[in-house]
Structure 1
């Protein structure tokens, strides 16, 4: 037993130093080279931080574009999905309620025009992006409430559309809504 005890203690100490100290330190140093310097990319408005680029926020006012619903009410400390399947009656009722609410606030579109992303929650509950189609179906509402031209709103949508090589085309909702506020 003594034969194995000393090598076990040595390897435990070595691995603790390596993976408990050096590895996290190396990751922290690498993160300092990333945008946001490892603290996340902050979005500011009027000199104040209003959120982070990669964390979704809840927008419910008609003057803003709305994002994906969140099963965790956009709580970054407890991200997660609803864990309800597509045939769950409670889930289907929740989706129908979201559809009904969306149609009340966007009377110029039909149910079939609503992208699924705007009525179904993301897996993390913190999705910061919507698709260009998700923004387009809301453009008329935003333009009307803000009393600006639909063309101006569509220009902002185009300007904030991000084309990704290995993923879908998206629009960061927070950055788009901040750009709307900056118009005045």
Structure 2
């Protein structure tokens, strides 16, 4: 019995040092060679950091493109989905409210034209991207609010479409923060 106890304590100590000290230090060292030096890929405007490329932000002004809603309030420390299924009455009310808000700010858009990614939160609650259709459906509102030519804003949207990885892995997408920074620079 004593033999097994000593062996298990040794193994526990070794694993504790390996997984709690050596492995995290190794990962931190590898991160130093990544973009952003392990601190994330930041996006800047006029020399000032305005956000992170891979973390969604809340845009609610009509002059900006809106991103995906967040079940986590865009809090990276509390990343999470809503954990509510598509038949949950509370979830359905939330989605319905989001649709109503979107229609209020985008008059003339038919309910059926609103892409799902603009009214449903992602699994992490931090998705920085929307579908190209999600951006296209907002072009008129943004152009009118900013007094810009609608075709100029539409062209900006098209130029920000990111193709799938290797041409086939994943959907086309648009990073909302990058698009909004470019929109500010357009004026």
Q: TM-score range by the shorter chain?
A: over 0.9
- TM-score, normalised to structure 1's length? 0.94
Q: Does the 8 Å contact 1:160/1:176 carry over to 2?
A: yes
Is 1:167 the counterpart of 2:178? The answer is no
Q: May I ask how many residue pairs the two structures share in their alignment? A: 184
User: Cα offset for 1:4?
Assistant: 2.2
Distance 1:12 1:173 in 2: 46
Q: 1:176 aligns with which of 170, 176, 179?
A: 179
Name 1:28's counterpart in structure 2.
Answer: 28
Distance 1:3 1:80 in 2: 45
Deviation digits for residues 30-49 of structure 1 (CA, Å, limit 9, x no counterpart): 11122111111001111111
Which ranges of structure 2 fall in alignment gaps of 5 or more residues? Answer: none
Name 1:129's counterpart in structure 2.
Answer: 129
Greater alpha carbon shift after TM alignment, 5-14 vs 116-125? 5-14
Deviation digits for residues 52-89 of structure 1 (CA, Å, limit 9, x no counterpart): 01111100000000011112221222121222221122
- Where 1:162 maps in the other structure, the secondary structure is coil
Q: Does the 8 Å contact 1:108/1:140 carry over to 2?
A: no
- Where 1:161 maps in the other structure, the secondary structure is coil
Alignment RMSD = 1.3
Deviation digits for residues 95-115 of structure 1 (CA, Å, limit 9, x no counterpart): 111111111111131001000
Distance 1:72 1:15 in 2: 34
Deviation digits for residues 136-165 of structure 1 (CA, Å, limit 9, x no counterpart): 000111111111111221221122111122
- TM-score, normalised to structure 2's length? 0.92
- Where 1:44 maps in the other structure, the secondary structure is strand
Output aligned runs, 1:34-183, within 5 Å: 34-165=34-165, 166-183=169-186
- Where 2:50 maps in the other structure, the secondary structure is strand
Moved over 6 A (4+): none
Greater alpha carbon shift after TM alignment, 51-60 vs 85-94? 85-94
